[in-house]
């Protein structure tokens, strides 16, 4: 007898009841997420805006970020709070059984949905298929009677919206009202740009030094090492203007020290080669070198051709070549000029020889000071960098005025020197020419400087200083008893003390950044050794 293959109507009914239950749970689950979204959206927005308020307040206390970035951050925080709340609601996983238990309680279904799912999934045994089917039918019918719109209304959280609105107003007020940290941030940006520019300048200066033919090899090595140290410092992150200035200042001062050392070594080396100059036919120049008169030695070297016959030119050329070889590591430019003169002498070209000797003479004449040293040129460029670094981030007007050309100070207070004259002239400040200058009668006199510590003060030395016969004489006793309260002594006697005090002030930061370069330049002009 053939078995009936037609589907069992009871089984089809049971499956349909289970699908109705599943569909109801899916619909209710979506409704639940919408309901929760209406509640949590303003809460998330309020939380994001609250964090934005904290960020805005912090930005008014510390220079955290500029206003445009702060506005963007506030918007992102608000958006993150809202999206975070929505994603939490919609992404959070919920099983059918969890939903069934929740809606059984919420709708008063007396665990009909839960029981139906547990039986269908085999979590609890059914007493009989007939009872299981009846239970599912009852659960499905109960689900059909539920009105989710009435039982799950979409209500929002008014208090959360109010908190979000208040937070938004606070953020807007904090962003609209002028923030004192904006100036700090603007200055920081300008300082960062200035540091980047000075770093680029130092790197270019380093490359220039490597290829500079005017530098002796040991000078080039010292210079490159000094520049490398400054480059390493300026390459550090979060460098302040003061730190950058200090690095440039240290490099400049080191070059100044090297300049003085090499200038002294060059003078000694040139004096030690007076005999070679004499063998080359520059006897007058050799004599002036031995006397330490480099200016006259240079003039005499330029005129040595006047004392050379045509027969002496070849021998002089050989001696000049040997002298150039000895001076190569001391003064490459002088050595090169001497070689050119030697070559011109061999050709019999007196005009070219004279021109080369004039160049050599100028170089020799400059050996008495420091100004013609190639290291001094690099030091001067570092000094200019210090000025630019000191002025980075500073207001252009008010408070500190601009010094006008010629040393005239602009309006608005103490100025930063700009233009020719640098705003500081030693003669204007002291009233006397710093180095030996001409007296009113056309003669020479020793420069003098005001030195109150030399007038009977505590710990000072009692001195009798001749006064101007036309003025009130200085009386013996304490400084306060003097009618004029002034005295002058040769500045060379006190320059060392003053210079030491200035260097100490520069190192300790007692002198404002914008004035340090001017102070350094002023005292360098006063240096009796230059």
User: Which helix (H) or strand (E) covers residue 4, if one does?
Assistant: none
* 148 and 192 fall within a common domain: no
Q: Give the residues across from 417 on adjacent strands.
A: 403
In a domain, 111, yes or no: yes
* 146 and 186 fall within a common domain: no
In a domain, 88, yes or no: yes
* 236 and 151 fall within a common domain: no
* 272 and 162 fall within a common domain: no
* 314 and 352 fall within a common domain: yes
Q: What is the pLDDT of residue 368?
A: 58
* 118 and 221 fall within a common domain: no
- Which range of residues forms the domain containing residue 528? 447-463+472-530
> Pseudo-torsion of CA 273, 279, 285, 286, nearest 10°?
40
Cα–Cα dist 113/317, whole Å? 118
Q: Is residue 169 within 8 Å of residue 180, measured between CB atoms?
A: no
Tens place of pLDDT for every residue, the chain, 530 residues? 344 444 444 455 668 889 999 999 999 999 999 999 999 999 999 999 999 999 999 999 998 898 999 999 999 999 999 999 999 999 999 999 999 999 999 999 999 999 999 988 888 887 788 888 899 999 999 999 999 889 999 999 899 999 999 999 999 999 999 988 988 888 888 888 999 999 999 999 999 999 888 787 888 898 899 999 999 999 998 888 888 889 899 998 888 888 888 777 777 777 777 777 777 677 777 777 777 777 777 777 777 766 677 677 777 777 788 888 877 777 788 888 888 888 887 887 878 877 887 777 777 776 655 555 678 888 888 888 888 888 876 665 333 333 333 333 333 333 343 433 343 333 333 333 343 344 434 444 444 554 554 444 444 444 444 444 444 444 444 444 444 544 566 666 666 667 667 766 666 555 655 566 667 666 666 666 55
* 455 and 372 fall within a common domain: no
Final residue of a domain: which of 176, 198, 222?
176
In a domain, 18, yes or no: yes
Q: What is the pLDDT of residue 517?
A: 62
Supply the Cα-derived Rg of the chain in whole angstroms: 46
Closest CA to 127 of 100, 135, 141: 135
Final residue of a domain: which of 176, 196, 228?
176
* 212 and 284 fall within a common domain: yes
Q: Is residue 227 within 8 Å of residue 206, measured between CB atoms?
A: yes
* 89 and 232 fall within a common domain: no
Q: How many domains does the chain have?
A: 3
* 254 and 363 fall within a common domain: yes
* 54 and 71 fall within a common domain: yes
DSSP string for 177-236? S--THHHHHHHHHHHHHHHHHHHHHHHHHHHHHHH-TTS-HHHHHHHHHHHHHHHHHHTS
In a domain, 91, yes or no: yes
Residue 348 gets the label, from left (phi > 0), alpha (psi -120 to 50) or beta, of left
In a domain, 427, yes or no: no
Two tokens at 64? Answer: 């955290």
Write the CB contacts of 127 (distance below 8 Å, at least 6 apart in sequence): none
In a domain, 326, yes or no: yes
In a domain, 256, yes or no: yes
In a domain, 241, yes or no: yes
* 382 and 500 fall within a common domain: no
Residue 438's alpha-carbon distances to 14, 240, 444, 487, in angstroms, are: 124, 46, 5, 20
Write the CB contacts of 352 (distance below 8 Å, at least 6 apart in sequence): 340, 344
Final residue of a domain: which of 152, 176, 200?
176
Burial of 395 (0-12, 13-18, 19+ CB in 10 A): exposed
């Amino acid at each position: 007898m053939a078995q009936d293959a037609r589907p069992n109507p009871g089984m089809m009914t049971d499956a349909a009841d289970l699908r109705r239950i599943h569909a109801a749970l899916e619909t209710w689950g979506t409704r639940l997420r919408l309901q929760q979204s209406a509640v949590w959206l303003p809460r998330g927005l309020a939380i994001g805006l609250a964090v934005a308020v904290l960020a805005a307040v912090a930005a008014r206390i510390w220079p955290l970020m500029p206003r445009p970035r702060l506005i963007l951050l506030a918007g992102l925080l608000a958006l993150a709070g809202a999206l975070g709340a929505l994603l939490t609601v919609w992404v959070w996983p919920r099983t059918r059984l969890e939903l069934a238990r929740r809606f059984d309680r919420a709708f008063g279904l007396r665990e009909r949905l839960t029981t139906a799912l547990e039986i269908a999934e085999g979590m609890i045994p059914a007493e009989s298929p007939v009872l299981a089917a009846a239970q599912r039918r009852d659960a499905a019918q109960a689900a059909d009677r539920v009105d989710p719109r009435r039982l799950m209304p979409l209500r929002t959280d008014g208090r959360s919206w109010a908190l979000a609105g208040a937070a938004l107003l606070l953020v807007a007020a904090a962003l609209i009202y002028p923030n004192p940290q904006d100036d700090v941030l603007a200055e920081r940006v300008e300082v960062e740009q200035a540091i980047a520019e000075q770093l680029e300048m130092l790197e270019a200066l380093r490359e220039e030094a490597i290829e500079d033919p005017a530098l002796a090899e040991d000078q080039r090595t010292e210079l490159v090492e000094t520049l490398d140290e400054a480059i390493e410092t300026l390459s550090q992150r979060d460098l302040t203007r003061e730190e950058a200035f200090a690095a440039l200042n240290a490099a400049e001062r080191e070059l100044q020290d090297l300049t003085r050392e090499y200038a002294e070594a060059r003078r000694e080396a040139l004096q030690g080669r007076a005999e070679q100059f004499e063998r080359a036919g520059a006897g007058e120049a050799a004599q002036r070198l031995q006397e330490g008169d480099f200016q006259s030695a240079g003039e005499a070297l330029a005129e040595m051709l006047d004392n050379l016959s045509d027969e002496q030119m070849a021998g002089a050329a050989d001696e000049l070549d040997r002298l150039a070889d000895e001076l190569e590591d001391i003064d490459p430019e002088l050595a090169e000029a001497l070689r050119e003169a030697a070559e011109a002498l061999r050709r019999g070209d007196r005009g070219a020889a004279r021109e080369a000797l004039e160049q050599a003479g100028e170089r020799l004449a400059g050996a008495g000071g420091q100004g013609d040293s190639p290291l001094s040129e690099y030091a001067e460029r570092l000094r200019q960098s210090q000025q630019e670094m000191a002025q980075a981030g500073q207001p252009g007007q008010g408070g500190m005025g601009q010094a006008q050309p010629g040393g005239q100070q602009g309006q608005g207070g103490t100025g930063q020197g700009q233009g020719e004259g640098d705003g500081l002239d030693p003669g204007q400040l002291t009233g006397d020419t710093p180095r030996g200058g001409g007296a009113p009668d056309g003669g020479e006199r020793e420069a003098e400087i005001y030195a109150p510590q030399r007038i009977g003060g505590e710990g000072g030395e009692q001195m009798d200083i001749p006064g101007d016969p036309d003025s009130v004489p200085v009386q013996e006793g304490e400084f306060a008893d003097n009618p004029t309260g002034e005295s002058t002594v040769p500045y060379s006697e006190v320059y060392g003390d003053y210079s030491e005090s200035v260097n100490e002030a520069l190192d300790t930061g007692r002198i404002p950044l914008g004035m340090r370069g001017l102070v350094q330049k002023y005292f360098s002009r006063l240096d009796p050794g230059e």
